[in-house]
Amino acid sequence: MAWAAVNGISLYYQAHGAGPALVLAHGAGGNHQSWWQQTPFFSERYRCVVFDHRAFGRTKDARDGPGRRAFADDLRELLDLLGIERTAIVAQSMGGRSAVGFALRNPGRVSALVLSGTTGGAVNDEVRAAQEAHRSGPLGRRSLARRAYSPRLRRERPDLAYLYRLINSHNPPRPKDFLAPIPGYRGSSSERLEALGIPILFLVGQDDAITPAHIVKLAHETVPSSQYDVIEGAGHSSYFERADAFNARVQRFLEDAGWRTE
């Protein structure tokens, strides 16, 4: 375990293994512990870095701090401190804000990008309309906690469902609007992601009730060179619910991208 003084905060992180760097950026329902099924797997091949975003896990935000707007710069300073010039990133849901922000602000430092359960801001009017229809529908009206993983996990693996909630309980309280979108913002990352010229995979659980598969597919289509795939039998937290399938798909993508130990 280690702490990094970055961007005005003390950020908690762990680094495991050796080889090309791989950063795992957790979602709003978790923290660095969320990757307990990925860290042992990927650290056999990569220098695997997990961390707690500010206001999550063991990392506290600064008093009256910038909150989520600092995610990308926090990551940059962490990688600078670790001497990592270039990395692949696997981002789950909220972690896409860190990953996309970092990639766009630091061209050349990301070798490959997996966006899991998120559009990564790659939106157009069609995506926005689909998002609004989902938010106003029956699934969208359920609490985020109920949609964080699939009903199937709750039925078939109550132990994993309990562990998911336990990991989430380790997060400190945050303002309710901590992750709220900027009012009136209509931007899109699509063209800039395409311009990066790096392999990008949009990955989504078949039964994702927060960012459904059809919306992620639409986001993928706004980045013409990107790939798209679905983890069957999983909800929003496919990395947690179907870890073997998730890990295998990400590993294949990284190898195809040339991000491997020689």
Q: pLDDT tens digits for 163-220? A: 999 999 999 988 887 877 777 677 899 999 999 999 999 999 999 999 999 999 999 9
Residue type, 235: G
Query: In this predicted structure, what is the pLDDT of residue 180?
Result: 73
Asked if residue 164 lies in contact with residue 29, where contact means CB atoms within 8 angstroms, the answer is yes
Rounded CA gap, 68 and 56, in Å? 11
Q: Which two tokens stand for residue 161?
A: 């469902």
Q: Which residue has the tokens 């947690």?
A: 240
The two three-digit tokens of residue 195, written as one number: 């311009």
The tokens for 122 are 């790659």
Beta bridge partners, 2, equal 13
| pLDDT score for 262 | 47
**H helical segments located in the chain:** 39-42, 71-82, 95-105, 125-136, 144-147, 151-156, 158-168, 190-196, 213-221, 238-241, 243-256
Among 102, 109, 146, 134, which Cα is nearest to 219's? 134
State both tokens at 1.
């375990």
Mean pLDDT by 10 residues, the chain (262 residues): 92 97 97 98 97 96 89 98 97 97 97 98 95 84 80 95 96 83 80 97 97 97 98 97 98 93 52
Alpha carbon separation from 260 to 21, 254, 257 (Å, rounded): 10, 7, 8
CATH class for the region spanning 2-176+186-256: alpha beta
User: What angle is formed at CA 148 by the lines to CA 177 and CA 174, rounded to 5 degrees?
Assistant: 25
As given in the structure block, the two tokens for residue 260 are 């491997």
Q: Name the phi and psi angles at 126, rounded to 5.
A: -65, -45
Its pTM surpasses 0.75: yes
Angle, vertex CA 63, rays to CA 62 and CA 69, nearest 5: 55
How far is it, in rounded angstroms, from Cα 103 to Cα 122? Answer: 13
Torsion of CA 240, 244, 248, 254, to 10 degrees: 30
Closest to 66 (Cα-Cα) out of 75, 76, 54, 58: 54
The domain spans of the chain are: 2-176+186-256
Output the pLDDT for position 261.
Answer: 58
The pLDDT, as a whole number, for residue 175 is 81
Closest CA to 35 of 109, 88, 95, 82: 95
